Amino acid sequence: MKTPAYRQGLYVMLTMLCAVLATGCKEDEEVYNTYSNLPAKFTMQNTLQAPALHNALNNMGEFCTVTITKDGKQFMFKGSGKEPSYVNITAENDYNGFYLGLSGLVIGLPNIPEMGKDNPSVICFDLACSNCYEKYHITKPLGMQDAGYAHCSSCNRTYNLNDGGIVSSGEGGVRLYRYRVNYYPNNTLVVNNG
């Protein structure tokens, strides 16, 4: 039994439409990829030992930077409080390896849930200005500002950490590089990107 011509035409049109939609979604996914493909790796098994980090992980709108001290012996956590927290880099950290992105990490709990989510979840950005890196291939660390903003003194852009790291003032551009992060109920934080 032969399929009527209009049904064959309908099948062809549906097949073409599915192919176009699948291709379009893939292109959109590549252009608007949420996470950077840059490497970042950091684990903190007890965030209570770094009060600035613990505060940023448990209070909406709070963010903390994670860098290494100049002598390379400690992680430095700096939040909205004036005093940073320091934690020694242990043999376990060295054994498991860590990589704090281009200039360090910015970790926190935004006060705005991401699209499609009911509650905010912990996010992690690179501390480097993504636009300076894209344009000049240099790492310019951001300065943290109150209320969930980070500013680049080189290109004069300000990024909104509560809204996915988008440029909120200055010349437009790409949003901050974002890394995959998980925060577990036992106060363990894991950044693992790449």
Residue 18 confidence (pLDDT): 47
Residue 8 confidence (pLDDT): 58
The confidence band for 23, taking pLDDT boundaries of 50, 70 and 90, is very low
Contact of 76 with 126, CB cutoff 8 Å = no
Residue 83 confidence (pLDDT): 87
> Buried b / exposed e across 68-102, counting CB within 10 Å, b at 16+?
eeeeeebbbbbbbeeebbebeeeeebeeeebebbb
Q: At 7, phi and psi to the nearest 5?
A: -70, -40
Give residues with Cβ within 8 angstroms of 138, minimum separation 6: 132
- Where are the extended beta strands (E) located within the chain? 40-44, 62-68, 74-78, 85-88, 105-109, 123-126, 143-145, 149-151, 158-160, 166-169, 178-179, 181-184, 188-193
Contact of 86 with 119, CB cutoff 8 Å = no
Segment 120-160, tens digit of pLDDT: 999 999 999 999 999 999 999 999 998 899 999 999 999 99
Mean pLDDT score of the chain: 86
Residue 26 confidence (pLDDT): 39
Percent of the chain whose pLDDT exceeds 70 = 81
> How many residues does the structure list for the chain?
194
The confidence band for 31, taking pLDDT boundaries of 50, 70 and 90, is very low
In one-letter notation, the amino acid at residue 158 is: T
Give residues with Cβ within 8 angstroms of 115, minimum separation 6: none
Residue 29 confidence (pLDDT): 39
Contact of 109 with 98, CB cutoff 8 Å = no
Least confident of 14-23, 54-63, 114-123, 154-163: 14-23
Residue 155: exposure state from Cβ atoms within 10 A (0-12, 13-18, ≥19)? middle
**pTM to 2 decimals?**
0.81
d(CA 85, CA 154): 27
Residue 80 confidence (pLDDT): 83
Q: State the CB neighbour count (10 A cutoff) for residue 39.
A: 13
